[in-house]
Amino acid sequence: MGHMEKLRILWVSIGLFIAVYGSISGYSHPFEAYGTDNGFSYNSDYLSFSHNFLYDFAHINKLDPSYNSSYNYSYIVSARFINGDQIIVYRPIDTNLSAYEEALKLEPKNIGNHSADYTVDTIQIANSTGYKIDSVNYYSGFNEGEFVSESIDIVFVKNGKLYQICFFSFEKDHLNQNQANMDKIVNSFTVY
């Protein structure tokens, strides 16, 4: 192998290394925090959003990395904690209602085979007063007996936009295992 051939292989190797390194580092931190252009950002040790002109990305840092997050027009991210409980962060939408009125719309209804025990409390989030609807939902009429799910919905309104976060579990008394993580996620929301 001649000197020029070795030099060419060296340059090709360097070029491939730079390309692979660039794509890996670009994937890890591809863009600015989500919402620099629309006033909504979120970043924590557990979950962060970013975007470019084509896509929204969710980086699930300390949640279950095997869960394939899905995206649609109504929410930014659906992710799963290691213990199987889930979080959905909805896209901000325009509203003329107050946070309290939006919270009333989310109160569980006892209809048909569904009944619920729930509480509604105020919560401070993103320098706003929001509402937390904590509910245990019971569904009867299944072959296995009663099915129970648990959810915590957090809503707040700022600058005419509704923001909503939902934590839920298919097991009773399961969400409290994630309390510290949920607090960190909620406390990381920022609206400009």
Can you give the residue ranges of every domain in the chain?
A: 1-30, 64-175
> At 37, is the pLDDT very low, low, confident or very high (cuts 50, 70, 90)?
very low
> At 126, is the pLDDT very low, low, confident or very high (cuts 50, 70, 90)?
confident
d(CA 130, CA 113): 30
Radius of gyration for the alpha carbons in the chain, expressed in angstroms and rounded: 22
Cβ neighbours of 151 (radius 10 Å): 21
Tokens of 33: 């925090």
pTM value > 0.75: no
Instruction: Pick the more confident residue, 39 or 124.
Output: 124
Q: Return the CATH number of the domain spanning residue range 64-175.
A: 3.40.1000.10
d(CA 153, CA 99): 12
pLDDT above 70 for 124: yes
